[in-house]
Amino acid sequence: MLKRSGIPPYPQFYELLYTYATGVNPTLNNRINSIFRAGDSPSLSLAEALYNEFLKSDVNDRISNVSERMHARIEAVHDAIDTAMTTANSYSGSLQAASGDLGREITAEAMKQLAERLLSETRRMQDTNQALEIQLEASRDDIASLQRDLDDVRRESMLDPLTKIANRKSFDEGLATAIAEASKGSSPLCLLLLDIDHFKNFNDTYGHQTGDQVLRLVAMTLKSNIKGKDLAARYGGEEFVAILPSTDIEGAMIAAENIRKAIQAKELLKRSTNEKLGRITASFGVAAFRPSDTGATLIERADRCLYAAKHAGRNRVISEIDLAAIQAA
């Protein structure tokens, strides 16, 4: 896509189109799709503008920005309400004074002046109420926009910034939810834990930028090989994890094997030199949920299976069933 659009392959533009390709930011995808539909020609300045808008600022900056906008909007509403209350109190005082005047005999001229004064106060009250209505209407639209921004920020806060899949926080919440649902019913639940083989050596040999690309590649491969309710996440470092609801141990083993093969099938190429860097592999541990499980115990069993896969020579899948057979032997 970079080549077709004539956009330089700088890291930030790769990240922009990588994020678009993964579909993890629906707002960005809608914007880019609308540009394509409009027939606009991609340009360096357009790519920079999209990157600055969607990816450059971090989550804390965006939260701060939303907070400031929310504070300004609330202050504006408070000011409008204070003005309306002051006008309403003044109008109430005018009505009480007019009531007292009407209780006495007054001349026709005095009655005319009283009516004009009340009419003027009434118009002022109407103007103030109209201004308040306009302010509240604008606030409603702004607050709806702020809510969308907060939703976007929350989604981003649940993503790993490098790989753009779920982060550890999102995984912890997802696992707790999956366990709660599995505990209620009889549907199975499995956990898949994977670790990139010899990643440190690869990182040290070819550099951190290439290592980061490997992490992104594994993340995308993992995400593209799981189904709807499943959750792929970066567990930490070169470890990844997938929560597989409604999947039994046999199905989880098949899924893990498919992911293992998909990762191994990708040959790495250093584009700057066309140097072939070989293939990467990963080891997998698979554990099934038990009624007595907590998140920690389920992760611990998957980790033991992963350790066994590493110990057995790497680039393989070992489940609890396999581990039991190995220990029995």
Q: Which residues are catalytic?
A: 238
Within 10 angstroms of residue 174's Cβ, the number of other Cβ atoms is 21
**3-state class (DSSP) for residue 196:** strand
Token pair belonging to 223:
């995400």
- Counting Cβ atoms within 10 Å, is residue 259 exposed (0-12), middle (13-18) or buried (19+)? buried
CB 235 within 8 A of CB 174: no
The terminus-to-terminus CA distance of the chain in angstroms comes to 53
Residue 104, class by beta-carbon neighbours within 10 Å (0-12 exposed, 13-18 middle, 19+ buried)?
exposed
Q: Please give the full DSSP string across 210-255, using - where no structure is assigned.
A: HHHHHHHHHHHHHHHTS-TT-EEEEEETTEEEEEEET--HHHHHHH
Dist CA 21 CA 29 (whole Å): 9
Q: How many beta carbons lie within 10 A of that of residue 310, not counting itself?
A: 16
